[in-house]
Chain A
């Protein structure tokens, strides 16, 4: 069995008890594999430790147990190979949008000349439609949507091997969110970026992801299911809802969040390595095909569609 590009092995996070009492286990025994170029979304209720997992992947936080292996090497500490976009405050407010990108590009390519850095940065800002003077504004002078566009442009500009998005559209209104999702897909399609994204939005997850991970409620949260989204790319918001699998997947996710995330919650597991249950829809067989190994080959993503 080949090792996936990114693998989370027996990841747990515990916080020591304040005084005497029992330690708080946020999640435990998380085992996952993510392939190169895959777009993975993770959904779960607040407090299940999604952000902690993302921070561990980023190297900003450390697991209590377990390890993250990327490209055959254990992740320790933050690195330019893993780009992060947070919901807020990814941008430095005293720098212009352009400078927010150039400092990152400069950090990535230390030998580049100023001109090279500038051209490369502007290329990615162009991709998200920030040009003609708007790139010289400070983040406070940009709308929330524009700010996240800059964050995304920066993340793609440094070309990390793994892109981590922590609810990047959480603070945006629905219309803005829609258009930035489209842009994210467009920029992503032109790259071979692996993306790991946290979201609370079920429709967003289906639109963007190859695979959606579902987490049970914390404490003792775990990744219970891995739902594959077999809908062909390129996907368009208006058409995807007519896909025969769309509502099956959507209902499955909603039902999980409303009911099963709670039912499956709680302390369990004997410490053995358990994989999330793979769920497929449509042509691959009806709901909840039980426990296929996640490392079984999946249909490759359809790329292109500039």
Chain B
């Protein structure tokens, strides 16, 4: 049998998925129907719903139900999954692009100037390892707004990989290419635009891709803290409701959206990639 590697990989993935789901389904105890219970068991509360990890079939049913009407809004604690993800994406992208707007020009500056690199390096080294959530109390106090604080947390966590990668990419532009710009009397702006930006673009995009990944990781935790809306809040709210089906469903959705974001950036990275 001759099939392409891709086809065989897909087949194997499906088999692994089926096996995992099968085990999961088999391992979850079935809720017994009240009619099947003895009177004694009923008296002991056996007929009440027990909190348990739901089987995959229940998660699929939930997913179908949620995804068939993703944008309903029935009050503060009951919004469709589409609306919740929309809020999260709005916060992530706002904080992220604010960070990009500062990190990329600043990275250029640091990459071009050894003086700025040395002067700013200690600040970056100290600020970078701070967990973004550690900023939350300070942000809440200073900004006085939980929405904006969540955006700030995204901003502060996504700025570092972009800043460092931009600086690294700009500083590492092949000297010969800079010389090409110099021998053609390109001004500094033109040099930046024609030579340095395209040369550093793959490295910058790598930083942007790392950043968006981190931002999506952090938004869930941030929304659990600030509450109100968003996929992180949704997970926490469903946990408080002890609705594990929804918790598992939203976990999968977080993974799915994260994958889509990463794929989008991988695509952009391919666009600016060049071969020496």
User: Which chain A residues have a beta carbon within 8 Å of chain B's beta carbons?
Assistant: 58-60, 77-80, 82-84, 86, 88-95, 103-104, 107-108, 138, 140, 158
Contacts and interface: CB of A to CB of B under 8 A. Distances in A.
Interface size class of B (residues with CB under 8 A): 20 to 34
B205 to A, nearest CB: 13
B275 A90 contact: no
Given A86-B176, A138-B275, A140-B274, A92 B195 contact: yes
A107 B190 CA distance: 10
A60 B174 CA distance: 14
Interface in B198-231: 198-199, 201
B179 interface: yes
Given A86-B176, A103-B194, A93 B183 contact: no
Given A86-B176, A88-B176, A103-B194, A93 B182 contact: no
Nearest to A103: B194
A80 B198 contact: no
B65 interface: no
A107 B176 CA distance: 18
Q: Is chain B's interface secondary structure helix, strand, loop, or mixed overall?
A: helix
26 contacts: A59-B183, A77-B182, A78-B182, A78-B183, A80-B183, A80-B184, A82-B183, A84-B179, A86-B179, A89-B180, A89-B276, A90-B176, A90-B180, A91-B180, A92-B180, A92-B199, A93-B276, A94-B272, A103-B184, A103-B194, A107-B185, A107-B186, A107-B190, A138-B274, A140-B275, A140-B276
Nearest to B190: A107
Contacts of B194: 92, 103
Interface of B: 174, 176-177, 179-180, 182-186, 190, 194-195, 198-199, 201, 272, 274-276
Contacts of B182: 59-60, 77-78
Given A58-B183, A103-B194, A104-B184, A89 B274 contact: no
Contacts of A78: 179, 182-183, 185
B185 A94 contact: no
B198 A94 contact: yes
A60 B274 contact: no
B274 A94 contact: yes
Nearest to B201: A94
A83 B180 CA distance: 9
A95 B201 CA distance: 13
Contacts of B179: 58, 60, 78, 84, 86
B274 to A, nearest CB: 4
A107 B274 contact: no
Given A60-B179, A84-B179, A103-B194, A93 B274 contact: yes
A58 B179 CA distance: 10
B275 A93 contact: yes
Contacts of A95: 198
Contacts of B198: 92, 94-95
Contacts of B272: 94
Contacts of B201: 94
Contacts of B185: 78-80, 107
Nearest to A160: B183
A80 B185 CA distance: 6
Given A80-B184, A88-B176, 12 more contacts: A80-B183, A82-B183, A86-B176, A86-B179, A89-B180, A89-B276, A91-B180, A92-B194, A93-B276, A107-B186, A138-B274, A140-B276
Contacts of A83: 183
B275 A89 contact: no
A84 B199 contact: no
A78 B182 CA distance: 6
Contacts of A93: 274-276
Contacts of A80: 183-185
A107 B180 CA distance: 12
Nearest to A110: B185
Contact of A92 (B177, B183, B190, B275): B177
B203 to A, nearest CB: 13
Contacts of A90: 176, 180
